[in-house]
Amino acid sequence: MSELSLFTLPDVGEGLTEAEIVSWKVRLGDTVAVNDVIVEIETAKSIVELPSPYAGMVAQLMVAEGDTVEVGTPIIAIGSDAPAAPAAPTAAPAGPDPEAQDMKPLVGSGPKADAVKRRPRAGSGTAVVAHAVPAAAPPAAGPAPAAASAPAQVPASNITGGGTAAKASRVLAKPPVRKAAKDLGIDLADVSPTGPRGEVTKKDLLSHQDQRTAGRDGTGAFWAPAAGSGLAGDPRVERIKVKGVRKATAKAMVESAFSAPHVSIFVDVDASRTMEFVKRLKASRDFEGIKVSPLLILAKAVIWAAARNPSVNATWTGDEIIVKHFMNLGIAAATPRGLMVPNIKDAQDLSLKELAIALNELATTARAGKTQPADMAGGSLTVTNIGALGIDTGTPIINPGEVAIVAFGTIKQKPWVVDGEVVPRWVTTLGGSFDHRVVDGDLSARFMADVAAIMEEPALLLD
Domains of the chain are 3-169 (2.40.50.100), 171-241 (4.10.320.10), 244-462 (3.30.559.10)
Q: What is the pLDDT of residue 239?
A: 77
One-letter identity of residue 169? S
Going by pLDDT thresholds of 50, 70 and 90, the confidence category of residue 45 is: low
pLDDT for 1 beyond 70: no
CA separation for the pair 213, 151 (Å, rounded): 51
Query: Looking at residue 233, what is its pLDDT?
Result: 65
Q: From the candidates 131, 208, 262, 436, which is the catalytic residue? A: 436
Residue predicted with more confidence, 91 or 329:
329
Name the residue type at position 138: P
Please determine, for residue 358, whether its predicted confidence score (pLDDT) is greater than 80: yes
d(CA 136, CA 157): 13
pLDDT at 115: 38
- Predicted confidence at residue 170, as pLDDT, reads 67
Are the CB atoms for 358 and 322 separated by under 8 Å? no
Q: Which of 408, 454, 424 is nearest to 274 (CA)?
A: 454
Per-residue pLDDT at 165 exceeds 90: no
Question: Residues 397-405: what's their mean pLDDT?
Answer: 93
Q: How confident is the model at residue 13 (pLDDT cuts 50, 70, 90)?
A: low
249 or 217, greater pLDDT: 249
% of the chain exceeding 70 in pLDDT: 73
pLDDT the model gives residue 20: 86
- Encode pLDDT of 92-108 as tens digits: 444 444 343 333 333 33
Mean pLDDT of the chain: 77
CB proximity list for 228: less than 8 A, separation 6 or greater: none
pLDDT (0 to 100) of residue 148: 36
| Average pLDDT value for residue range 110-123 | 38
Report the pLDDT value the prediction gives residue 177, as an integer from 0 to 100: 80
Per-residue model confidence (pLDDT) at position 356? 96
Q: Which of the residue ranges 111-125, 268-282, 378-392 would you say has the lowest mean pLDDT?
A: 111-125
pLDDT over threshold 80, residue 28: yes
Q: Summarize the confidence of residues 143-165 as an average pLDDT.
A: 39
Task: Look up residue 288 and give its amino acid.
Answer: E
What pLDDT does 312 receive?
96
Does the structure show a pLDDT above 60 at 153? no
Position 145 confidence tier, pLDDT thresholds 50, 70, 90: very low
- Tens of pLDDT, residue by residue over 271-296, are 999 999 999 999 999 999 999 999 99
pLDDT at 213: 58
Comparing 7-21, 33-47, 266-280, 412-426, the range with the smallest average pLDDT is 7-21
With beta carbons less than 8 A apart as the criterion, state whether 9 and 73 touch: yes
d(CA 397, CA 182): 33
Active site residue 208: no
